[in-house]
Chain A
């Protein structure tokens, strides 16, 4: 069984440019999470989806960040415009509905210059 897939693995952009990250969860996992991981820190939740519905986006900086999961399977996280402080690893995770155990993807390492 394939794990959580993310792309790209690395992205370097200049500040003020837009950037998008893609995630494909484990097959059958209804719940999808986007996390931000700063260097030397634990992951912090940005948004949680149950199928196509964003049920917790309280930590998502909505002035520049947006996310979608239109068909309830794969998801895209976008930043526009990117700032220097957005440099971090963006992790996607998934779980079965109602189950606490989450499985992580390899992450996208973003560097904003």
Chain B
């Protein structure tokens, strides 16, 4: 079955810097890759997603890139703000289900 690996597990950046979180997946049949942000004690919230027929997608300060050949995708956050601090999960959609990575705890220091 599909396996999703996510790195790093923790990431600390200074406010205004960029943050990059990387995920790899194992099954080339996976065709949809969402990213969720989860603040402490709250629900995972979809922040951006990308389908396998697209290489890059951007939404204001957030962008996602997908390399189908290498089977990896990345989340890029520019001009980070303290409110970006949360746990971020990547996921791959395969055989009608989402397989999640293990999460990255992002801390943005003022």
Contact = CB atoms under 8 A, between A and B. Distances in A.
Contact of A56 (B32, B49, B96): B96
A56 B97 contact: yes
B46 A103 contact: yes
A45 B91 contact: no
B44 interface: yes
Interface in B87-109: 89, 91, 93, 96-98, 100-103
Contacts of B61: none
Interface of A: 3-4, 40-45, 48, 55-56, 91, 100-107, 109
Contacts of A40: 102-103
Contact of A43 (B44, B45, B93): B44
Interface of B: 4, 6, 32, 34, 36, 41-46, 49, 89, 91, 93, 96-98, 100-103
A4 B44 CA distance: 11
Given A41-B103, A42-B101, 7 more contacts: A42-B4, A42-B6, A43-B89, A91-B43, A100-B32, A102-B46, A102-B98
B32 A104 contact: no
A99 to B, nearest CB: 10
A104 B93 contact: no
A21 to B, nearest CB: 14
A102 B91 CA distance: 11
Contact of B42 (A41, A56, A101, A106): A106
22 contacts: A3-B43, A4-B43, A40-B103, A41-B102, A42-B4, A42-B89, A42-B100, A42-B103, A43-B98, A43-B100, A44-B100, A55-B96, A56-B97, A91-B43, A100-B34, A100-B49, A101-B34, A102-B34, A102-B46, A104-B45, A105-B43, A106-B42
